[in-house]
Chain A
Amino acid sequence: MLTLVRKDIAVVAAFGWLIVWLVAPSYLVPAIAAARTGRVYLWVNVAFAAAAIVSVCLLDARSGADRFIHSLPVTRADVVRARYVTAIVLAIGVLGIGTAVGVIHVLAAAPSGEAWPRWLAPDVGLAYVVVMALLIAAYLPCYFRWGYGAGTIVAAVLLAGLVIAGDVAGGAMGAAPPGLPRGLAVRLTVAAVERWGLVAASIAGVAGGGLLLAASAALAARGYRDRQF
């Protein structure tokens, strides 16, 4: 399975220059205008991570790599598990890049002694983990069941529904804290950190995300088992 993950990483690594020329500078826009648009920062991270994950699937589809992958000594379950691991690795990588760019910007631009910006706080990072777990758990089963084209459309509709529902539910909880999005996942994560502390909330968030991804991977494997190539 790890060989498949290395294959996925090697495939996207060929586009590493995009990180230098496109992804990293893109963080500067919300970072520079952080006072007004700090809440966008989390969604920039989510958008880039989603784009990276979808890109791996797109590269497979564009190259017609299904036959190639299935001629390799791997099972379909291996392919599914590896793609989940790749998605997690990419999500963590994007969080790392986003955090690094944010920290560098804050250290360089903020006056000394000023409070650490809300949008770069650890609980927002945890909220990102929760949101990405939801996103991966929704997207990959659709991709494995229906392929890149139809699967991405189904997942986009599903995720759009989740975002709207989360936004409405989060809005119903009252005004969002300054610098934070008002979506339900973020609000609940921030509330959990306030109530239980960062460590306990992180353990709960990561464990919950892990369980969600495990269930999602089982569903994806079932859908993929029946695919004909």
Chain B
Amino acid sequence: MTPVPAIVRDGMAEPLLEFRNVSKRYPDFALDDVSFSLPRGYIGGLIGPNGAGKTTIVKLLLNLVGRDGGWITVAGLDPVDDEVTVKRRIGFVHEVPSYYEHLSLDAIGRVVGRFYLDWDRALFASLLREFDLPARSRFGSLSRGMRTKGALALALAHRAELLVLDEPTAGLDPVFRRALLERLSAYVAEGRASVLISTHVTSDLERLADFITYVRAGRVVLSATRDELAERWALVRGGPALLDEETRGLLAGYERSAHAVTGLTSDAPALRRLLSGRDAVVERATLEDIMFYMGRSC
């Protein structure tokens, strides 16, 4: 089982979202023994290649598909047993937001607002203005980026405790993309809400996410805090001689060519000690490096 990270900030350790040993089987794909958690007041990143199972995890959380095993809790409640209460606390932005194409954002806001006790009409209107969205245009006439902004406004306007964003930055212009990431940081800063971002664009998460869960082929292969990743994970570069038995034991993956070796380690301090005085460079690993090199040996 993958360890469930638990850290304390300002005395808070309560996981707002927790997956424990969750499994889901399809005829051609299986999500197996998925465990991770996200405390209140933090941003979690769910990364992995296409088809890794990230969207299935999001679907399980929203009860769009039924799980075959394990436990999921949101603020201690099961999304299946307490579906309505849990969904009141979740704001969801899908990769391709789909609402009624013939309705305006204004009308969609009126429809959606009735479902939430904490719906803030004024906030929704101000978000539409802030995001530069035409309130009276048909949803179907909006660009993909504008749809995402609209979905985000809907999710924020009911003051969700858990924002779940599935590939949120796809289709967004760079200016709004940066503004969005800043807004998400501000959203969790009060310590009341958390954000789970599922994406394969790891650059979005480098500075933003407090927790990273890496999913590959339906399994969680890494779940850690950003600080743990920075301390423990590193990239090492050197000549072919670098790849001896001792070094190889400390590498989580590597790539070798005729003249060079690039490897990934999950124990940077030990590797630094081992390579002290040798002709090798140990540097910080980005999330993309981790995704690329983990489990690689060629």
**A→B interface (CB under 8 Å):** 3, 6-7, 10-11, 14-15, 59, 62-68, 70-75, 78, 226, 228-229
Contact = CB atoms under 8 A, between A and B. Distances in A.
Per DSSP, are chain A's interface residues mostly helix, strand or loop, or mixed? helix
Chain B CB count within 10 A is highest, among A6, A15, A226, for A6
Interface stretch (B96-104, B229-237, B249-257): B96-104
A184 B242 CA distance: 87
B197 interface: no
B111 A7 contact: yes
B115 A228 contact: no
Q: How many B residues are at the interface, by size bracket?
A: 20 to 34
Contact of B115 (A15, A73, A75): A73
Interface of B: 59, 62-66, 83-85, 87-88, 90, 92, 94, 96-103, 107, 110-112, 114-116
Given A64-B98, A73-B115, 16 more contacts: A10-B110, A11-B100, A14-B107, A59-B102, A64-B96, A66-B64, A68-B94, A70-B62, A70-B63, A71-B92, A71-B94, A72-B112, A73-B83, A73-B84, A74-B83, A74-B84
B99 to A, nearest CB: 5
Contact of A74 (B64, B100, B115): B115
A229 B88 contact: no
Contacts of A228: 64-66
22 contacts: A3-B114, A3-B115, A6-B114, A10-B110, A11-B111, A63-B100, A65-B99, A67-B98, A70-B63, A71-B62, A71-B92, A71-B94, A72-B87, A72-B112, A73-B85, A73-B87, A73-B88, A73-B115, A74-B84, A226-B66, A228-B64, A229-B64
A125 B103 CA distance: 34
Contacts of A73: 83-85, 87-88, 115-116
A73 to B, nearest CB: 4
B150 to A, nearest CB: 12
B217 to A, nearest CB: 20
Q: Which 10 A-B pairs have the closest CB atoms?
A: A64-B98, A73-B87, A71-B92, A229-B64, A73-B88, A228-B65, A73-B84, A3-B114, A63-B100, A72-B115
A75 to B, nearest CB: 5
Nearest to A75: B83
A7 B114 CA distance: 9
A32 to B, nearest CB: 33
Contacts of B103: 10-11, 14
Nearest to A10: B111
A198 B39 CA distance: 64
Contacts of B65: 228-229
Contacts of A70: 62-64
B64 A67 contact: yes
B67 to A, nearest CB: 11
A74 B87 contact: yes
Chain A CB count within 10 A is highest, among B65, B96, B115, for B115
Nearest to A2: B114
Contacts of B83: 73-75
Contacts of B84: 73-75, 78
A66 B94 CA distance: 12
A63 B138 CA distance: 12
